[in-house]
Structure 1
């Protein structure tokens, strides 16, 4: 597919929609990103959000290998012209991120990459724009919201019971969302070091930068409570309610 080049003088912005997981916690026979949310699949709603964002030049979809053809059909029927390619994902989130990096290997280190969980279909244009704007100065950004719940650290006592070990100060805690955004040179270097480390344990993309490029600050962009992740069966009903509320405003 042909993708227009960005305006000269600014970096090319690629959004990778990561749909490589099977969503076992949903308990159904199909990947959760192929379930329907108010008439459209969760995957299509995530793709559409980035195709509609004027800051995004190109969209790459990383899909469960067995369902690449179905993703291709969704994109073709939906007319999502910014989608340049659909590639199979890996067995883990980090492997799917690596697949996204391979898909943009010809892009320059100063270009930008947004990595987004397909299971967050209600991401707003405002959040996408904020990530891109922050990357004008930062090498890595994460979207996060304050924790409204008290979070506790637990330990196991001598009888095998979980007990509260400590209660961290909630004012310094955030719940991470996506997209997570990077200058390509930053996230490439981080993953090169990660996959060369035999002790590497998969985490989110900001976590990879934090661990393997500790000199690179990861800035926080304020997220939105509506940017929920569809993980459990009840989340679809919540997402439909949020979607209807947004459409009525």
Structure 2
């Protein structure tokens, strides 16, 4: 059974306030885009890495993959305008993979995914067709309608999703096939597509890591620089 990791780098990072896509910004002396492929490239359970890059920036991504010599990175393909379009581009590029191939979809903007998270994902995929990575929320989360609190879910039942989000590839293909027939389809992540269109497929949640943060806002770059420095000191 093969395992393919897809690094999704299709966003332009407008919220971070830079004209350069955030995955091309440097943290710890390296482009953000160089981190996640390195984690999958060195993991013994991953056979292939596919990078999905923002439109117009594929040559820059190819240069980074070449510069760092990632042996498992097979291709860099162009993504779409949305997360969904980028996932569909990856599924199209992997159309020849058998349905039981293990697929890990990871945000390039989460540079500090580690081997422990990947280990837990792969172990869970032995028994489940869909796996998410989650961490507890330290804050109280409420449901608000018309400016009023309508519900206050118990905090210990809530998780903040990270990536990778992981599937047997045939499961995700089927979920998107059903979704594309729905004129009201919208999604922010791939587990959401499976949850909505394949409700009988349980999604296993494994423990994430607070260091596996997503670089979205300028402050996240400061935190990422600190994490990169700590990782370098630990070598």
TM-score normalised per structure 2: 0.97
Q: Contact 1:92 / 1:202 at 8 angstroms: preserved in 2?
A: no
Quote the Cα distance in structure 2 between the aligned partners of 1:41 and 1:243.
11
Match of 1:7 in 2: none
Match for residue 146 of structure 1 among 136, 141, 149: 136
Q: How do 1:237-248 residues align onto structure 2 when only pairs under 5 Å count? A: 237-248=222-233
Match of 1:167 in 2: 152
Q: Deviations over 1:1-54 (max 9, x none)?
A: xxxxxxxxxx10000000001011011101100000101111111111111111
Quote the Cα distance in structure 2 between the aligned partners of 1:109 and 1:102.
13
Quote the Cα distance in structure 2 between the aligned partners of 1:146 and 1:70.
36
Q: After TM superposition, where is structure 1 displaced by more than 3 Å over at least 4 residues in a row?
A: 246-249
Question: Does 2:68 align with 1:78?
Answer: yes
* Structure label with greater radius of gyration: 1
Q: Contact 1:109 / 1:185 at 8 angstroms: preserved in 2?
A: yes
CA RMSD of superposed structures (Å): 0.9
* Partner SS state of residue 66, structure 1: coil
Quote the Cα distance in structure 2 between the aligned partners of 1:19 and 1:34.
9
Number of corresponding residues:
234
Match for residue 205 of structure 1 among 190, 196, 202: 190
Match of 2:164 in 1: 179
Report the CA distance between 1:154 and its aligned residue.
0.8
Q: Contact 1:16 / 1:62 at 8 angstroms: preserved in 2?
A: yes
Give the gaps of 5 or more residues in structure 2: none
* Partner SS state of residue 132, structure 1: helix
Match of 1:3 in 2: none
Q: Contact 1:154 / 1:164 at 8 angstroms: preserved in 2?
A: yes
Report the CA distance between 1:180 and its aligned residue.
0.5
Report the CA distance between 1:190 and its aligned residue.
0.4
